[in-house]
Amino acid sequence: MIDREQFRQILDNGVWHQNASLIQLLGLCPLLAVTTTLVNGVMLSLATIIVMAVANVAVASLRNLIPHEIRIPVFILVVAALVTVVDLIFNAYFHELYLVLGIFIPLIVTNCIVLARVEAFANKNPPLQSLLDGVFMGIGLLWTLALLGGLRELIGGGTLFAGIDMVFPGVHGLQLLPADYPGFLLAVLPPGAFILLGLLIAWKNWAEARAAARKPDAGSDHRSPLPVADGV
Amino acid sequence: MSDFSTPPYLLQQGTSVRRVMVQVLLALLPGIAAYVWLIGPGIVVQLGLATLAALAGEALVLGLRRKPLALFLSDGSAIVTAWLIALSFPPLAPWWLIVVGTLFAVIVGKHLYGGLGQNPFNPAMLAFAACIVSFPALMSQWPTLGLQLGFAEQLKMIAGLAPRVDVMSGATPLDALKTALKLSNGSVDVPTLLATQDVFGNFAGRGWEWVASAYLLGGLWLWQRKLISWHAPFGFIAGLSSLALLLWGWNPQQFANPVFHLFSGGALLGAFFIVTDPVSGCTTPKGKLIFGLLAGLLAYIIRVFGGFPDGIAFAVLLLNLCVPLIDMYSQPPIFGLKDEP
């Protein structure tokens, strides 16, 4: 089925080495538009994780039946069906959040990460590996979106977990900075998202360079080539 | 330790960045003197705060980048950025506003792009844009003229110890004109407004017109010293005043005259100290002229039809983006060839 080394590699690629937001730079549109708060970022990531995991399993199971020439339309159909399900679930159970996230839930269909993983991984690997790949890629997305959303929220308004009552009624967000904190609005606006994303990428490169410097020969042995896809 | 030499396209050769920067600071002094005299001594505190913040931010990043501290700190470029920020921010803004703006300019605007000579955007204008987008209310609170505050009271206000709201109802002359025109909805014309309202002086804003004149004086001195060429300032002034002239000629009731626009807001500070930036501006003579012209046109459009108090910062930032393109299409002919480069 799956050996330890394979599992570790899928985990490593999804969460760190081929992180969708920091390395592949896929799905920048929701990244920039939705991560104004931590809750928004996390919830959109969760929706994407569900879609990616199920889509990967579905495509991996059907991969020998899908004609190569029309595989992209088939992938899109599978993903679109799943996104519709997630969209309806959000509308039914987290209606306020659904209104906040708005168009970005339906737009998961066009999110490059989903299509990139289906095309680059699920189309060539068995279902179990594909499931893990979808989940770990999603977790990679989750922590970057959570970090970015948290930073933007904290710098922009001095709060954390604002709007959590949309998910857990009765729970309130934290006001971390004093109430008269004026709020650095730039962080909440798209330029702030670009600047903070740039800083996160720089931080990741710095961390990797430091790690590489510490053990010089264990460099890029376990990295597979990057899947090619357009960034949206 | 060797000093930096200036890039080869500057007119005055054989000088160092430090000498150029010191002369730019000297050229700002008449403007600062007029500012202190007519608007208030609070600006001195802001200049000091901005300078300290710029040097601290510079030292921090230089330390992180393991660059020689003394060489870069003493080149004066951070201080020029700091002074331009202080002069374009409201003089009684709370202390943290100018510190945040300056740190943003030095760290994000300058060093994240590679430091001295590498920044595609004018750091001072970046700070202004970031702050006016983030804190629009604070950035639009200018002291009302005739507001006679002692130095101690101004200091208290900058430190955030005194209440702001009741005394800080002022707007810049540009803003006052725009708001009055919008509120009256056509029933008041510009000449009456300029003649009757207290904010306006002889030919532009009361007090501010002389500050702007002093900037002009300093800028002309820079030009006479051959530290800046005439192209960019001339282009900027021509762009701004030609559009102003056109609209004023078409409808003098609704549009202020070109002199008012030239001596209001940051126009002359921008013309001589901001569009002339050798790093973020164009390098070819024709390019400088085009850069100035377009920046002037854009600045007029943004300040008259836009929602912000002044348009210089956004105009300059947008034109900074176009610099590589303008430079590419404005290469001077190679020596010995007639027309074609």
Which residue in A has a C-alpha nearest to residue B100's C-alpha?
A184
Q: Report phi then psi at B203, rounded to 5.
A: -135, -5
What's the CA gap between A132 and A115, in Å, rounded? 16
State the pLDDT at residue A230: 43
pLDDT digit string, tens, across residues B265-322? 889 999 999 999 888 888 888 999 999 999 999 999 998 888 787 889 999 999 999 9
Report in angstroms the alpha-carbon separations of B115 from A84, B20, B250: 49, 17, 46
Instruction: Tell me the chain A residues in contact with residue B107 when contact means C-beta distances shorter than 8 Å.
Output: none
State the pLDDT at residue B165: 56
- The SS3 of residue B294 is helix
Q: Does A205 touch chain B (CB under 8 A)?
A: no
Q: Report phi then psi at A74, rounded to 5.
A: -65, -45
Q: Please name every residue paired with B142 in a beta bridge, in sequence order, or none if there are none.
A: B170
- Say yes or no for a CB contact (<8 Å) between A185 and B108: no
State the pLDDT at residue B57: 93
State the pLDDT at residue B5: 61
Helix (H) or strand (E) holding A174: strand A174-175
Of A182, A186, A198, Cβ closest to residue B133: A186
Of B108, B133, B135, Cβ closest to residue A182: B135
Q: Report phi then psi at B142, rounded to 5.
A: -105, 150
Which residue in B has a C-alpha nearest to residue A156's C-alpha?
B134
The answer to whether A161 touches A174, Cβ cutoff 8 Å, is: yes
pLDDT, block means (10 residues), chain A with 232 residues: 80 81 79 83 86 89 87 89 89 84 80 84 86 89 89 84 73 73 82 88 87 68 45 42
Instruction: Tell me the chain A residues in contact with residue B121 when contact means C-beta distances shorter than 8 Å.
Output: none
Q: Does B160 touch chain A (CB under 8 A)?
A: no
Q: Which two tokens stand for residue A48?
A: 């994407």
What's the CA gap between B82 and B49, in Å, rounded? 9
The answer to whether B79 touches B119, Cβ cutoff 8 Å, is: no
Q: How many Cβ atoms sit within 10 Å of the Cβ of residue A139?
A: 16
Q: Does A183 touch chain B (CB under 8 A)?
A: yes
Q: Which two tokens stand for residue B264?
A: 């209001």
pLDDT digit string, tens, across residues A61-78? 888 888 888 888 988 888
Amino acid identity of B40? G
Of B112, B134, B138, Cβ closest to residue A186: B134
State the pLDDT at residue B162: 67
Which residue in B has a C-alpha nearest to residue A183's C-alpha?
B134
pLDDT band at B85 (very low <50, low <70, confident <90, very high): very high
Q: Does B321 touch chain A (CB under 8 A)?
A: no
What's the CA gap between B190 and B255, in Å, rounded? 7
State the pLDDT at residue B107: 92
In 3D space, the residue among A78, A93, A84, A114 whose CA is nearest the CA of residue A43 turns out to be A93
State the pLDDT at residue B30: 92
State the pLDDT at residue B299: 93
State the pLDDT at residue B147: 59
State the pLDDT at residue B103: 94
Q: How many CB pairs lie under 8 A apart between chains A and B?
A: 14
Instruction: Tell me the chain B residues in contact with residue A182 when contact means C-beta distances shorter than 8 Å.
Output: 135, 138
- Say yes or no for a CB contact (<8 Å) between A182 and B130: no
Instruction: Give residue for tokens 């006052």.
Output: B176
| Complex ipTM > 0.85 | no
Work out the burial of residue A128: count CB atoms within 10 Å of its CB; fewer than 13 is exposed, 13-18 middle, 19 or more buried.
middle
3-state secondary structure B140-153: CCECCCCCCCCHHH
State the pLDDT at residue B321: 93
pLDDT band at B38 (very low <50, low <70, confident <90, very high): confident
State the pLDDT at residue B4: 62
State the pLDDT at residue A228: 43
DSSP A106: G
The answer to whether B27 touches B221, Cβ cutoff 8 Å, is: yes
Q: Which of B17-26, B168-177, B230-239, B319-328 has the lowest mean pLDDT?
A: B168-177
Helix (H) or strand (E) holding A159: strand A159-160
What's the CA gap between A160 and A152, in Å, rounded? 9
Q: How many Cβ atoms sit within 10 Å of the Cβ of residue B30?
A: 18
pLDDT band at B245 (very low <50, low <70, confident <90, very high): very high
* Cβ neighbours of residue B11 closer than 8 Å, sequence gap 6 or more: B226, B227, B228, B229
In 3D space, the residue among B311, B161, B308, B170 whose CA is nearest the CA of residue B243 turns out to be B311
Instruction: Tell me the chain B residues in contact with residue A184 when contact means C-beta distances shorter than 8 Å.
Output: 100, 134
pLDDT band at B60 (very low <50, low <70, confident <90, very high): very high
